[in-house]
């Protein structure tokens, strides 16, 4: 590691801030970004904050050919005292390094990057929207930049952090969606890249996603790649079920992404004396619970939506309506508590939030 | 499709051609490249040949985040009359469109692109090296360019064709390599992206490839993702076995890439009255053949190497030496015939080669 001191090159041409009531997701970026380079000789070097601007890359750069890239996603909130809060950013940097390992990308120094991230957020503080449900979305990512067509890990990388003010995931309030269980396409399999946040896992799902959207469903539910029996994730979220009073979530394996929201929900429920059972759960079991009238709630969990209630589940020719298409009590409590902690509205007994000075 | 006429913007600063005896693979590019844009409103538009130069992209461009990209690889040769030959380029463009379909990328017009490709090759004719085993490697690829962090197909794409003069795959003559059967990692699975030439499939293999290289092996042999029993590919090649006089290759499924070399070998062998059996073949079966002394030859097949003999196969704790680490007779004949046809040294009864005027 030869990281030098962070150089800040301030943008003289500041953009006007967007209308906080009309924010979309990830279309608009702030005035600055963080970048850092990697070479085999120097390690990670040249950390800097520079104006957000296009990057220039040779067409032969490996990122365009062999998909060697990883990313993260987390959010910054502004609380009522105008202080800036990050939600468990250490977890995201840890996961970034796990993703790096799976993609043969050299690890970053988590402590240093945490410091760079805080300096970037601090500089862009005014970009953090304050309206209910809005936040500043933080996207760290690493791409392979060596110009070479060899099918092998790149010798050069660039690490970026870009920031986007985003609107509420639920402009009309939290509401359940319809989810289609995907029987044909596979997101990830044992021995694959499913535990890594890497590009290929996402575009792999587009065919299925487009098909589901055409059928009028919001997202797909992914089954395991081996037996096409066990539930893995929903869209780009982890998934929870409440069946006959018990909360169940698929146990982690090497094809499920280890969500920070998932982990936080498990801890939060433990605090409420509700045990979450982490185990394999098949679609058949969910269907049987539905038939028995014990499928009480189901929801996705991830940074973007925080908690996303499932109102309908389509499996083969069956449609299962969950909790009369209403957001369940537990789902609602989790959403309120998590967003409350994230935005500093309620106390944070877990010390999950990190204040940016 | 609103493609206009191809615009050619000639490079005034021509590079000096490299030493043909010291060519590497995919490190050096010619003076020009082809590019074409896509938007939802216009379809594919603005086909042009321009100087090979860096591209400028917003850091939010989807290619950097969600892996939506496809590519192809084929070669141009110069024959003894100084004519330029392409090997089955129609097959590559067909496959590019199949890859596009899997990645939710809009299809290209194969006929038009074939014409553009020929014009590019014709302009760069002097870049095609002529020494034994050398060629001009052609890399068409498409990347998602819309600046957006939505997990959804991009609304904009750029299609590139870049060209790289490449050295012989076998500077010291064709020779067998050692291959490790991969038991843990998975390249692709049923319902995944294995039949598409898309970035994620390649970086997915880096961990396994690095491990094999550290153990002194040239590449890994991929097993199916479901049972980890059946042979799929070797490195980035299809694979053939000669067992007890019979030629066997894994039958195509939705996790094996449909190689042009594989297809050509099957046709060539049929012409020689040797039937290729396309069926599932397990590692256990290969090992039993080895023990019985009937594992006669094994080789990989792909554009880069054409044919790559396997001299040793490592499976769990077993090492199988194939044909005394010598290139087998059939492997050698296939290599000589295929490269002979590709370079115009021997007649092409199949009309595989396409001359560029
Ligand atoms: C595939 C996938 N699963 C689950 C999640 C949820 O993870 P987190 O709660 O850390 O956002 C994400 C990321 O948002 C994801 O991309
Ligand atoms: C994964 C994979 N398998 C097989 C092949 C062989 O295909 P082809 O003979 O068309 O080069 C390739 C490409 O070269 C490949 O990338």
Q: B73: Cβ below 6 Å to ligand 2?
A: yes
Give the number of other CB atoms < 10 A from CB of residue B279. Answer: 10
Question: What are the two backbone dihedrals, phi and then psi, of residue A115, each rounded to the nearest 5 degrees?
Answer: -65, -45
Can you tell me the distance from the alpha carbon of A295 to that of B356, in angstroms, rounded to the nearest whole number?
65
Can you tell me the distance from the alpha carbon of B122 to that of A284, in angstroms, rounded to the nearest whole number?
59
Question: B193 and A204: CB-CB below 8 Å?
Answer: yes
Q: B238: Cβ below 6 Å to ligand 2?
A: yes
pLDDT in tens, B158-209: 999 999 999 988 888 889 999 999 999 999 999 999 999 999 999 999 999 9
- CB contacts, 8 Å: B206 with chain A: 68, 103-104, 152-153
Is 0.90 surpassed by the pTM of this model? yes
Domains A7-166 and A177-342 share a fold: no
Atom of ligand 2 nearest to the CA of B257: 3
Residue B72 banded pLDDT, cuts 50, 70, 90: very high
Q: How far is CA B160 from CA A125, B56, B73, B84, B150, in A?
A: 39, 14, 12, 21, 24
- Mean pLDDT score of chain B: 96
pLDDT over 90 percentage in chain B: 94
Q: B259: Cβ below 6 Å to ligand 2?
A: yes
Q: How far is CA B162 from CA A201, A243, B293, in A?
A: 26, 55, 46
What residues does A143 pair with on adjacent strands?
A69, A158
**CATH fold of the domain at B7-166:** D-amino Acid Aminotransferase; Chain A, domain 1 (3.30.470)
Domain spanning B177-342, CATH class: alpha beta
- CB contacts, 8 Å: A54 with chain B: 56-59
Residue B201 CA, chain-centre distance (Å), reads 13
| Closest chain B residue to A194, measured at CA | B204
> Is A275 part of the contact surface with chain B (CB cutoff 8 Å)?
no
Cβ contacts from A onto B, under 8 A:
218
Query: Do B129 and B136 meet the contact criterion of CB atoms below 8 Å apart?
Result: yes
Question: B67 and A149: CB-CB below 8 Å?
Answer: no
Nearest-CA distance from B52 to chain A in Å? 8
Q: A353: Cβ below 6 Å to ligand 1?
A: no
> Is A135 part of the contact surface with chain B (CB cutoff 8 Å)?
no
Can you tell me the distance from the alpha carbon of A160 to that of A92, in angstroms, rounded to the nearest whole number?
14
> Is B57 part of the contact surface with chain A (CB cutoff 8 Å)?
yes
Instruction: Determine the residue among B23, B28, B65, B167 to mutate to test chain A binding: the one whose Cβ has the most chain A Cβ atoms within 10 Å.
Output: B65
Say what the ipTM of the complex is. Answer: 0.97
Question: Both tokens of residue A109?
Answer: 């120094």
Nearest-CA distance from B313 to chain A in Å? 21
Does the CA dihedral B314-B320-B323-B328 come out positive or negative? negative
- CB contacts, 8 Å: B140 with chain A: none
Question: Both tokens of residue B17?
Answer: 């051609």
What residues does B298 pair with on adjacent strands?
B241
Query: Do B259 and B219 meet the contact criterion of CB atoms below 8 Å apart?
Result: no
Q: Which is nearest to B19 in space by CA: B109, B115, B149, B131? A: B131
> Can you give the pLDDT of all 357 residues of chain A as single tens digits?
555 789 999 999 999 999 988 898 999 999 999 999 999 999 999 999 999 999 999 999 999 999 999 999 999 999 989 999 999 999 999 999 999 999 999 999 999 999 999 999 999 999 999 888 899 999 999 999 999 999 999 999 999 999 999 998 888 888 999 999 999 999 999 999 999 999 999 999 999 999 999 999 999 999 999 999 999 999 999 999 999 999 999 999 999 999 999 999 999 999 999 999 999 999 999 999 999 999 999 999 999 999 999 999 999 989 999 999 999 999 999 999 999 999 999 999 999 999 998
Q: Which is nearest to A298 in space by CA: A224, A252, A229, A247? A: A247
For position A3, what pLDDT does the model report? Answer: 56
What Rg, from alpha-carbon coordinates, does chain A have?
A: 21
Q: A193: Cβ below 6 Å to ligand 1?
A: no
pLDDT in tens, B288-297: 999 999 999 9
Give the number of other CB atoms < 10 A from CB of residue A325. Answer: 14
d(CA B296, ligand 2 centre) in Å:
23
Q: Minimum-distance ligand to the CA of B95? A: 2
Can you tell me the distance from the alpha carbon of B250 to that of B239, in angstroms, rounded to the nearest whole number?
7
Can you tell me the distance from the alpha carbon of B172 to that of B304, in angstroms, rounded to the nearest whole number?
16
Nearest-CA distance from A113 to chain B in Å? 18
Q: How far is CA A17 from CA A78, A164, A173, B70, in A?
A: 15, 11, 24, 36
Q: What is the DSSP string of A241-261?
A: EEETTEEEEPPP-TTS---HH
Q: Which is nearest to B302 in space by CA: B29, B28, B92? A: B92
> Is B23 part of the contact surface with chain A (CB cutoff 8 Å)?
no
Residue B331 CA, chain-centre distance (Å), reads 19
Can you tell me the distance from the alpha carbon of A96 to that of B353, in angstroms, rounded to the nearest whole number?
47
Residue in B135, B238, B260 to alter for ligand 2 test, most ligand atoms within 8 A of Cβ? B238
Show which of residues 182-211 on chain B sit within 8 Å of chain A, judged by CB atoms. Answer: 184-186, 189-193, 198-207, 209-210
Can you tell me the distance from the alpha carbon of A141 to that of A158, in angstroms, rounded to the nearest whole number?
8
Nearest-CA distance from B211 to chain A in Å? 11
Can you tell me the distance from the alpha carbon of A180 to that of A211, in angstroms, rounded to the nearest whole number?
9
Domain boundaries of chain A, sorted by first residue: 7-166, 177-342
Residue B357 CA, chain-centre distance (Å), reads 24
d(CA B189, ligand 1 centre) in Å:
22
């Amino acid at each position: 590691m030869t990281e030098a001191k962070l150089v800040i090159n301030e943008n003289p041409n500041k953009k006007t801030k967007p209308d906080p009531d009309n924010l979309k997701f990830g279309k608009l970026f702030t005035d600055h970004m963080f970048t850092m380079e990697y070479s085999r000789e120097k390690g990670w070097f040249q950390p800097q904050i520079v104006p957000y601007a296009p990057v220039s890359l040779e067409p032969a750069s490996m990122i365009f050919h062999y998909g060697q890239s990883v990313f993260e996603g987390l959010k910054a909130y502004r609380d009522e005292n105008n202080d800036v809060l990050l939600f468990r950013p250490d977890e995201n940097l840890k996961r970034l390094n796990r993703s790096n390992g799976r993609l043969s990308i050299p690890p970053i120094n988590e402590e240093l990057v945490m410091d760079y991230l805080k300096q970037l957020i601090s500089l862009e503080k005014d970009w953090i929207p304050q309206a209910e449900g809005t936040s500043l979305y933080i996207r760290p990512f690493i791409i392979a930049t060596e110009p070479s067509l060899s099918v092998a890990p790149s010798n050069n990388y660039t690490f970026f952090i870009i920031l986007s003010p985003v609107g509420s995931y639920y402009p009309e309030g939290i509401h359940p969606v319809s989810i289609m269980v995907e029987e044909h396409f596979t997101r990830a399999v044992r021995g694959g890249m499913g535990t890594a946040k890497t590009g290929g896992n996402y575009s792999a799902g587009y065919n299925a996603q487009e098909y589901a959207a055409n059928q009028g469903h919001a997202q797909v539910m992914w089954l395991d790649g081996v037996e096409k029996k066990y539930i893995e994730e929903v869209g780009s979220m982890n998934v929870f079920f409440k069946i006959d009073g018990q909360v169940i979530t698929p146990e982690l394996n090497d094809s499920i992404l280890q969500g920070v929201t998932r982990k936080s929900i498990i801890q939060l429920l433990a605090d409420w004396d509700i045990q979450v059972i982490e185990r394999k759960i098949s679609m058949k079991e969910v269907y049987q619970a539905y038939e028995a009238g014990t499928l009480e709630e189901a929801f996705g969990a991830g940074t973007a939506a925080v908690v996303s209630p499932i109102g309908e589940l389509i499996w083969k020719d069956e449609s299962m309506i969950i909790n009369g298409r209403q957001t369940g009590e537990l789902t609602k409590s989790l959403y309120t508590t998590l967003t409350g902690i994230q935005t500093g509205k309620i106390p944070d007994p877990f010390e999950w939030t990190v204040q940016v000075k």
